Structures are given as structure tokens and as C-alpha cells.
Chains A and B, each alone.
Chain A
Amino acid sequence: MTTKCRLIFAGLALLLSSLVANVQAAEWQGLIQLGAQHSTGDTSFIDSGTGLLRYSEDDNPLQLYQAVLNVRQDIGSAWSVDITANGYTDGDQKLGLTQAQLEYKPLMAGPVKWRGRAGFFYPRMSLENVDVGWLSPYTYTNSYINSWIGEELRIPGLELTLYRPGRAVRSPWSWELHVGAYRGNDPLGTVISWRGFGLHDRQTLNNDRLNFAPYPSVTSYYGLWHPAWVEPFHEIDGRTGFYVGAHLAYFNQSELRYYYYDNNANPNAVNDQRLYAWDTRFHSLAWQHDFSNGTRLIGQWMSGSTLMGQRYVYADFDSVYIMLTQRFGDGRLSVRWERVEVDEDDVRPDDPNDSDGHAWTLAWRQDISEHWQWGVEWQHNTSRAANRPMLDVSSQQDSNAARLTVQYRIGAQ
């Protein structure tokens, strides 16, 4: 993590602690998910394998999946601080922050208003990850797209939003326009070029290291001489990245979100850890629609490219998912289909980056009380990655995962 990021976190922490005596109470939310799981297929990337799932076949069936705590503190009428901390038993960093932001949303009388936020956060591209701590309330395992956003994409920066809520101007249509500027997301694109898109629910913490398999073409001194991991939130080239986004909603029934994200990296910049700045840009289009019978449809499409070095790695990537979710009393049934493709077009045939796959995810989650929920999820995915044979693993892999989850929640949904 860069010094600037550390300063932002220290500043936010100081601000929060100085407000403990504030008359308005802080709002706390959080949840813990734990249970039993079984995964098949190749060893997980977390254990430096080529597998795309969070757990390996020989991992302990009993797991703590999530431990999330979110606190939100108002400062006067317009300002608030929002911090999310996560704990994991797997991965490199066990305890840390996934988001920390200072938000400004003044009361404004006119039809068009503005707001802003600064800190370390996700752009609001996803319609899947809408629960506390950027978790999904639908399935436990995120889609290919949002697994990747959760592990490699975060904005240490500033976002400004112009928005017009429709109801106050007697329109069924509401819109928002977002523009963000940031530093420190330079290695974005690393894992999808080498490991491929994963399927999991482990978000990368603020100072975390994301492992993948030690592909010889990547780690060899005669290859690309890159570690078999990435720390995704480093600033490497000193350049500012940006994104723009637009939301359009019809009542609260249907919403479309488009984003164009470009980290504006210099692909030849490399730091002393041998991490590169990857010039990564993509379009993301997400749609959610509630049908009158209570069924909700959520979909997202992403298409982009990433470039590292003097075209040592260049890959186009595309992914799409479609999810249907329906409440039945206290329960919710969700089914998601998705596919992904990474196509390389670079000067290093010794470092193949092609990968593709598709997956089905089926989840049932049922509230037992205000605090307790249980659920089961089954997932099947088929994937191909051209670089796996380097590690004596078949390029084609099928894997399945099943999990039973008990969740305890504090605070509001």
C-alpha cells in the first residue's frame, strides 16, 4: 500500500475516533458467515494452485467464510464516514479494511444535486454486491466479474456525482452521473491475465497480497520475472486513473448502470517488487429489473483489455452473467449463469494467456430470524487456461463446490 493510502486510512481513523463523543450515534452493521463446504478441481489460487475457487479439495470442510463489520458515523448534516473491516482465515492478510470513505451529501433544494466521496471504495458498478461489506445477498459466490472487482479493483481516490432523483420532479426516471479519479490501482489486470477469472467471495484487503500459481513463464528470470502474486492497490507509474459512470432508473423497478474504467497506467512502469502497472480499461453494463410477480433479474456484461510491458501481455476480456432471484416467504432462490473469455494478442507466445469458462450457481438462503439465516449453494464451472500445462495441470478443468452456510447479522439489512 502506498504512503498516500496509509495517510488516507490514518486520517479517516483519526476523524472517526475524534467523533466518538458526537451526540449522534454511530450505526453498526456486520455479519459472520460460517459453515461446511466441499470443493473439487484443481488447488485453489489462494494455495498457489491454478484453481479458480476459494477452497481446494483437501481444505478443511469447516470454514469461516466472512466476518464483516461496518461503521457509519455522521458528521453534521452533510458529512459521514463509512468504514468496512473484514476478517479472513485464508489468504495473506487476515484482518484489514475493504472500504473506508468520507462522504459528502449536502441537502439541496434543486432538482439536480451533487455529492462526493473520497477514500478507498468500489465504484457502484455492481448490482450483485448490495449487502453490507459489498457481499451479495443472492448467492455466496460472486460472479466472474465481481469476483475480479472484489480482488483487484478499488479506488483510492475521489468520486463526484451529479444526480437527479425522479420522484421530486414527478418523473418515473432518475439518473446519476459519476466521475472518479484515483491513484494506486495500477496492477489491475494481473490475475485475470495469468490465473483467469475466479469464482469466490474473498475480497482483497487494503494491504493484501493475492497469490496465484507460479507459472514458469511469469516467475522465471528468463520469462517475465514477476512474482507469483500481486498487491493490487499499489501506485507504480504516478499517473491518475479515471472512470465515468451513468445510472438510469425507472421508478425503483428497473436500473441500468454503465461505467467506463481506465486506470491510465504506463504499462512499462515496474516497481522494485517487479510488479507492473497494467494499462487496463473496460466497459461495464449492468441491469436489474423487478418483475411484477416478485422475480428479480440481474445481469452484467464487461468487456475490456489489459496491457503489460512492451506488449509482453496484451489480452482482451469479456464476461457476462445473468441471474434470476425470487423470494419465497423467508427464503430466496437464486440461479446464475455466466461465461468468460480472455484472448491474448501479444508478443510472448511462451506466456499463454488465453482462458475461458462458464459456470452455474444455485443458491437457497432462508432467514430464521432477524439475525440468523441459513443457506446452501451449489456451483459447477468448466474452465480452460492455456498456461496450466506448464505446471503439469490439464488446461481443461471442471470443478464443483457445495457449501452450507449459517449467517449471523447485526444491524439492519
Chain B
Amino acid sequence: MKVQSSPYLTRLRPVLGELLEQLLKRYAYASVLATDVETKSYSVGRSGTRVAEIGCFGRRGFTARVWKDGGYAEYSANSLKREDIDQILQHFETTLEGMSRCAERYETPMPQDAPAFLAASTDYGVDPRDLGDEKIVDRLTRARLSGLAADRILIECSTRFNYQIYHKVFLSRNRDLEQNVLFTDAAVFCLARKGEALKDGYHAISLLGGAEILDGLEDCAQKALEAVRASLSSIPLVPGEYECICSPEVTGMIVHEAFGHGVEMDMFVKDRALAASYMGRQVASELVTMKDGASTSYEDVATFFFDDEGNLSRDTVIIDKGILVSGICDGVSAARLGVSPTGNGRRESVDHKVYTRMTNTFFTEGTSKPEEMIASVKDGLLLECPTSGMEDPKNWGIQCMVSFGREIRDGKLTGRVFGPIVLTGYVPDLLKSITMISDTVEHCGAGACGKGWKEWVKVSDGGPYIKARIRLG
């Protein structure tokens, strides 16, 4: 089934059109983005049950953008009535004009506005609203109790489910775009005590779709339980460089944090990305191909039809057989750099600024089997359960953390577990050291990505198992 249009945005269209018309009388370029977002989060745990709308990622609202004499300005609000239009125009002409005079403007060409008309929706199996709160809470409760019963070591097995249905309308002089998207995610979080410390295990799944994702909860609980068992038996690792097999989740974190942020081209504009000087050069093993895109074949939570600047989504090849061939770009940065936007201009919500952001980002598959890869390791680790990562576009330093690594000796898992582990080093060194890539890809978008420490947007990442040499601490 297709996600239906928002009655609110349908009702608002004439007012949006009037606002745009008034702005276009005063500015060479103007656009209006309006959103209607419905989100709900469910969780069940020892603290109780929680059902609530999600406060971030926005609700209803609009952003108006104008361009004049080489500079942009934006005004956002979450209420728009016909009688507000004069006040909005006044904000542009007085407040924002005044703010523009605080410094010399960053001279920017007018954004691309080639004609585009689109109304598109994603598919889903089960509408969470039709499934209903009672059944969703019941599914989460049953998965929780089943998880707790599986092992007496657990002091917690909490479960959660989120859905987000968003509708966006983008209008400019030459564009009229509408999209309606539904995605969901679910997770299980297990906790056990080890002395004074608590050890956790977590597994999450995501879907461009509806509540049918709940069918995967039991498997999710099993994986979270395996993770907490491994964490409980983990011991500190002697820092050093190790031969590693990265699970698809860890590969995804490396793809996203270590390399993906570095090819966000708003960082090129600011001279904050080393990747700008590596275009056309080898940055990874020739086994590596990396993609990003809201319209790639790997559909997930960051699949959409146009971005928050009205640019149609694309499938971008970033690394092609080890060679860095392209970055990803929002519209304003594209205008500044003289390139085409790639549909990666995204806002946390309608009242936030646009930045270049990743969507679904991943390494493509190789030809090896995971078991062959483990068998090829003389003395190393299988890294699992990523917990966090931080980008360093300027210097390609790696900071990624995983809960644990399983020891591999003479091609076999020994049962010894080390953790928690910090991955550090220089990104191209790691990527060039990749010698094997598995033949299947897994991806997940259960979390959110920040630009630095803010501006959260939903993304997915993933890839195959990879074999590489990594500095671990």
C-alpha cells in the first residue's frame, strides 16, 4: 500500500502558494518547504511502558528561503495562515536584512531551479495506526518477557518500536514536489550486572515500511542476548594493530563515520575536508566500492524522492574500486562549488538549516564468504556491536567504538572476548588494508546521525564483512 497525502498540507497549499508568490515579487529566487510529520515511540521495560509522540524530527511547519544579490536568508515557523504572510515578508525585509549587514556575504550564485513536478509515496505492509497501540504494546511486552526468560543473567530486556510518517511539499517558481514516506525501527536492549558495572547488549532493525517490522523482534532479542553474553565475558585488550574482520554493522560505522562525513561537500566549501584534494585518487583497496543515496537499491529509513531543498534524490557512487570519484552535495554548496546537487540537502526538522547529509550509505558486496574470511586470520579479532563513532573530515582520523571483539586464532574463534574497544588510525590506511569483502550486504537505520554534536537526521549504513588491519585500543 502507498502512504497517502497529508490533508493538512493539501489544505495549506493555497497559502503556501500565496506566500511563494509574494516572495517571488521581491526576490529573484524563493522557495517554500512545508512538512507534516507524525511520529510515535513505544517502549516496554523495567521502568514501565511508554507511548509518546517523538519530540525531535519535527512536526508541522514551513521554511521560506530567498536569494537576492548573492546571498540567502531563511525564516521558519510552525504556523502559517494567510494573515501571517505580511509579517513573514516584514521579517525578511527588516530582521533578516538587518542581520545580513553584520558581515560581508558569502557570494553564492542563485540555486538551480530546473522544472520538476512529482508526487510520490513509499510502500508499506501494515500501517502502525491500523495495528493499534494495544497490539503494538502487547508485541513489545511479549518479546521482552520471552527475552528475559531466555537467560537468568539478564536484569533487563527492554523493547522499543518507532514509526514516522512524513509528508513534504516543496514549491519554487519551477518546482512543485510532494512526497509521503513511512519508516519504522525496532530494538531490543539487554542488561546484565558484572560487579559494580552493567554490561549491555543491543540489536536494532529498521525498515522503509510499516509495523511488519515487528515480525523481526524475536530474532532481534536473540542477537541482543548474544551481545550481552559476549560483553559480560570481555576482558581489556592490549592496545596494538590487529588483523580484524568487521561485522556488517561495524563496516557500516566505518563507512559512515570514518569516510562518509568526509565527502559531505559543504565541508569542501569550508575547506574542512581532506577528501576534496583526493578526488580521482586511490583512497581504498580496489575491492572497495561505496555508495550513498536516497534512491539506491538498498531502501531504508533515508529513502526519499527529493531533499529539503527540492533537489531530486540520486544514487551516488563515492568510491569506485578504490578510487574516490564523487562527494555528496546539498544545493547551496553545489552552487558555490559549481557542481550539480546530489539530493543530499537535509534538515533535522523544518526549522533547522540545511546541511549536506548522508542518506543510505554502504560498501557494496564482494565475493568472499564470512567463514572463509575468519579462516584466513592467523591472529586477530572479529569486531562486533558498534556503539559510537565520530567523524574527522579534516584529517581522516578514526574514532569508532565497539562493545567487543571475538578472538580469532589460526582461523578459528577461540571463545575469548575483548572489550570495549576503540578503533583509531588513519582512514585511507584502514581502507587500503582491506583484503577480503563478503558476498552479502546488511544495512540498518535504527539510529540518527548528527553533524558534529547536533542536527539529527535519520540515516542508514552498512555493508559486507570486511577484513582489514586496524589500530585498536
Do A and B belong to a common assembly?
Answer: no
Residues of chain B having any CB pair with chain A under 8 Å:
none
Chain A residues engaging chain B, CB cutoff 8 angstroms: none
